[in-house]
């Protein structure tokens, strides 16, 4: 059996990881868990030299500088996320470092969050809750009651989903039960599961023009950055609600803020934004027609535990020189 001194080392670049995943790693590795929340770049650079693996989240930037600082011992990065836009794939390939990620296990939880965020935005739940807590409710008279805090329902609406992978398909399945009138989606290829729900494959421009609710569930890369830009926002219906559970960089946020301030669209529900955390002085913080969540799409106890275990298994597979359960190929 390897002694602690001779075992390969793993840097867990986050705190409060489920113990079941840490225990899996400790059976095979010398594990170092970072102290700060979130881990700082300085701490990462200080602790990464000599590590065999990095266990991280989307909050940690894995770039060439960090990989070079780790040295030749670094063989794998395991990210506890489905997205990996925080990882420099070119540098990873250059230095022969493999990348594990956690698709599939979070699809249902993120889809649940998406539906909740959509309903909360279009039915003005947060705005109504604020009014209740600050005395606005007591000021409602019989005269204004009919229109007070009214939002748009989902029934009979056109829903457009940008990106219909596992998460987008799950969202489509859930929203179909709301008796929507039409389901539109974008994808590189037709999705039989979504087509079976009555979904219609369209272009992104057709989708933004025709949809009452627009949901972004696509990965962020060079092709999808600002896929919702100023021109496409201008094509949206005046009552359209935009929901983003992908990545903040999918939207030209400045253009979105302008449209919301001028009431050119109905509202936005954002679980992701730019930057993260969002500064407290951001105009988005002050808008009644915006619902903001702090990137909690996959935040269920069960899902986070599954993601952590899968990340640990991805790392262990590299040590054993076996196929990773989920590896990003490049």
Q: CA-CA distances (angstroms) from residue 239 to 41, 230, 253, 263?
A: 42, 17, 18, 9
**DSSP classification of residue 135:** T
Q: Is 295 a catalytic residue?
A: yes
Contact 168, 161 (CB under 8 A): yes
3-class DSSP state for residue 229? coil
CA–CA gap between residue 240 and residue 49 (Å, rounded): 49
Token pair, residue 62, equals 């894995």
Return the residue matching tokens 């170092």: 32
Return the residue matching tokens 């030209």: 252
- Helix H or strand E segment including 41: helix 41-47
CA–CA gap between residue 36 and residue 49 (Å, rounded): 18
Which has the closest alpha carbon to 148: 130, 134, 133, 128? 128
Q: What angle do CA 94, 100, 106 make, to 5 degrees?
A: 145
Active-site hit among 104, 130, 239, 295: 295
| CA 284 to mean position of chain CA atoms | 18
Task: Collect all residues with Cβ–Cβ distance below 8 Å to 174 and sequence separation of at least 6.
Answer: 111, 112, 115
HSE value, Cβ hemisphere, 13 Å, CA-based, for 27: 10
CA–CA gap between residue 217 and residue 161 (Å, rounded): 7
Which has the closest alpha carbon to 10: 50, 39, 43, 38? 50
Residues carrying an active site annotation? 295
């Amino acid at each position: 059996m390897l002694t602690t001194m001779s075992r390969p080392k793993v840097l867990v670049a986050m705190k409060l990881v489920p113990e079941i995943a840490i225990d899996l790693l400790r059976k095979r590795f010398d594990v170092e868990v970072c102290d700060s929340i979130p881990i700082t770049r300085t701490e990462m650079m200080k602790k990464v030299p000599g590590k065999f693996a990095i266990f991280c989240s989307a909050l940690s930037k894995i770039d060439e500088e960090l990989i070079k600082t780790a040295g030749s011992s670094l063989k794998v990065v395991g990210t506890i996320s489905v997205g990996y836009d925080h990882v420099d794939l070119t540098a990873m390939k250059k230095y022969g470092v493999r990348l594990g990620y956690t698709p599939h296990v979070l699809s249902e939880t993120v889809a649940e969050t998406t539906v909740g965020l959509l309903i909360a935005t279009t039915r003005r739940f947060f705005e109504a809750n604020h009014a209740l807590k600050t005395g606005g409710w007591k000021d409602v008279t019989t005269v204004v009651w009919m229109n007070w805090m009214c939002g748009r329902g989902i029934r009979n609406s056109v829903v457009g989903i940008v990106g219909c992978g596992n998460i987008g398909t799950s969202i489509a399945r859930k929203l179909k039960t709301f008796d929507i009138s039409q389901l539109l989606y974008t994808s590189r290829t037709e999705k039989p599961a979504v087509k079976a729900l009555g979904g219609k494959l369209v272009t992104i421009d057709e989708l933004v023009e025709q949809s009452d609710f627009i949901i972004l569930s696509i990965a962020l890369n060079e092709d999808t950055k600002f896929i919702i830009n100023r021109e496409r926002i201008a094509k949206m219906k005046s009552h359209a609600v935009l929901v983003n559970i992908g990545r903040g960089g999918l939207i030209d946020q400045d253009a979105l803020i302008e449209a919301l301030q001028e009431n050119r669209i109905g509202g936005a529900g954002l679980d992701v934004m730019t930057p993260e955390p969002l500064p407290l002085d951001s105009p988005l913080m002050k808008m009644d027609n915006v619902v903001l969540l702090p990137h909690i799409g996959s935040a269920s106890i069960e899902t986070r535990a599954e993601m952590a275990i899968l990340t640990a298994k991805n790392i262990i597979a590299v040590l054993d020189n076996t196929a990773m359960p989920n590896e990003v190929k490049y």
